[in-house]
């Protein structure tokens, strides 16, 4: 296998490992786009392997660049019968550079994947402040900001949802809602439909003082 061919195969390997490293966070976005919400958590089991996959990607890219940039030996020059021919695009430094940029974008995906989700801007008219309830759930399977946004996006589809926060580090989601329009069971069902699972209810607060009769509540609070 010559150096040019080897660098091309290394470039392909780096793409695969970079995508695999962030697959647990790419899948929720793909689920959002395709409408197949339930597959969002399909690759969350890969999260523990992410540091190793990141390391493999960087090592493969570094070796590919080394193969591309290292000085050629006299034997390689003498044996290169096609030296004057233009190499295929996939064997050029330009292609390897594009692969490197793509690989780093994939590796950084967990840090910007949430931008693909719509912002919740709906408002809920509160008939009575006694209807406002806040519940915190333990949710398993979330690994990054994309997972958090996927849970929030699904719960916000329910009527009467005032606000939703999710924390993948702590493994929980907090939902404030009008219990005259929806209930805890519907919220749990909505979260479970994403593939992430509610393991139990951590705390419940009822009759919250935020919001009065006829007032409007939204993501930024009640008016």
Most confident stretch, 38-42, 53-57, 202-206: 53-57
Most confident stretch, 29-38, 88-97, 166-175: 166-175
Mean pLDDT of 40-48: 85
What is the third-level CATH fold of 117-222?
Alpha-Beta Plaits (3.30.70)
Residue 215 reports pLDDT greater than 70: no
Residue 57 reports pLDDT greater than 90: yes
DSSP string covering the chain? --HHHHHHHHHHHHHHHHHHHTHHHHHHHHHHHHT-GGGTTTTGGGGGGHHHHHHHHHHHHHHHHHHHHSPPPHHHHHH-TTTTSPPPGGGSHHHHHHHHHHHHHHHTGGGTGGGGSPPP---EEES-GGGEEEEEEEEES--SHHHHHHHHHHHTTSTTEEEEEEETTTTEEEEEEETTT--HHHHHHHHHTTT-EEEEEEEEEES-SS--TTEEEETTEE-
Give the pLDDT band (50/70/90) at residue 154. very high
Which pTM value belongs to this model?
Answer: 0.74
Residue 75 reports pLDDT greater than 80: no
> How high does pLDDT run on average in the chain?
83
């Amino acid at each position: 296998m010559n150096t040019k061919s080897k660098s091309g195969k290394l470039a392909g390997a780096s793409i695969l490992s970079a995508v695999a490293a962030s697959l647990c966070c790419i899948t929720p976005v793909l689920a959002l786009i395709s409408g197949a919400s339930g597959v969002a958590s399909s690759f969350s089991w890969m999260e523990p392997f992410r540091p190793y996959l990141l390391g493999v990607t960087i090592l493969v890219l570094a070796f590919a660049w080394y193969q591309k940039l290292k000085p050629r030996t006299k034997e390689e020059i003498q044996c290169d019968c096609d030296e004057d021919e233009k190499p295929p695009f996939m064997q050029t430094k330009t292609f390897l550079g594009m692969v490197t940029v793509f690989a780093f974008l994939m590796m950084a995906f967990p840090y910007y994947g949430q931008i693909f989700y719509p912002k919740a801007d709906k408002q809920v008219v509160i008939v009575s402040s006694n209807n406002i309830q806040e519940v915190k759930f333990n949710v398993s399977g979330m690994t990054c900001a994309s997972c958090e946004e996927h849970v929030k996006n699904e719960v916000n589809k329910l009527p009467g949802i005032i606000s939703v926060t999710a924390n993948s580090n702590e493994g929980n989601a907090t939902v404030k809602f009008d219990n005259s329009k929806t209930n805890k069971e519907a919220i749990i069902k909505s979260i479970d439909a994403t593939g992430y699972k509610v393991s139990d209810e951590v705390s419940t607060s009822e009759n919250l003082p935020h919001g009065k009769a006829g007032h409007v509540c939204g993501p930024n609070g009640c008016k």
